């Protein structure tokens, strides 16, 4: 009985102290499709301003997170093609994980306009 109490106390202490030891948890990065999409679009526009070699760590991290998302949610949910990547070059990785999925979304997205935007109302100086 004493052994079971000490084992239970030890398990409780570990469960209570584990969040303090790992503040962001064991899975530090969440890989949901929404987070992957936001990171992908952000990286897509950063690549227009910076050389790809400077963004290499972010591209590799997004590739790893995208593959984790593919395992958790499926390829379609994460915006990835069904066929695997056949190359390991930085440009091909960027093309596969960032550029192609982002361009597909931008090509299929409809522009939404509201009728309130159609009416031009000039600024009237009221006194």
The pLDDT tens digits for 35-79 are 999 999 999 999 999 999 999 999 999 999 999 999 999 888 888
Cβ count within 10 A of residue 108: 7
pTM of the prediction? 0.63
Torsional sign, CA 72, 76, 112, 35: positive
Over residues 2-46, the pLDDT tens digits come to 554 554 444 444 444 444 444 444 355 778 999 999 999 999 999
């Amino acid at each position: 009985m004493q052994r079971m109490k000490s084992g239970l106390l030890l398990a409780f202490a570990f469960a209570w102290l584990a969040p303090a030891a790992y503040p962001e948890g064991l899975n530090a990065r969440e890989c949901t499709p929404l987070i992957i999409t936001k990171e992908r679009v952000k990286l897509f526009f950063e690549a227009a301003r910076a050389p790809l070699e400077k963004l290499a760590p972010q591209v590799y991290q997004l590739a790893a997170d995208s593959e984790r998302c593919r395992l958790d949610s499926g390829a379609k949910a994460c915006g990835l093609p069904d066929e695997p990547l056949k190359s390991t070059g930085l440009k091909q990785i960027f093309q596969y994980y960032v550029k192609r999925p982002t361009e597909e979304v931008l090509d299929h997205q409809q522009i939404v306009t509201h009728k309130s935007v159609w009416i031009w109302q000039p600024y009237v100086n009221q006194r």
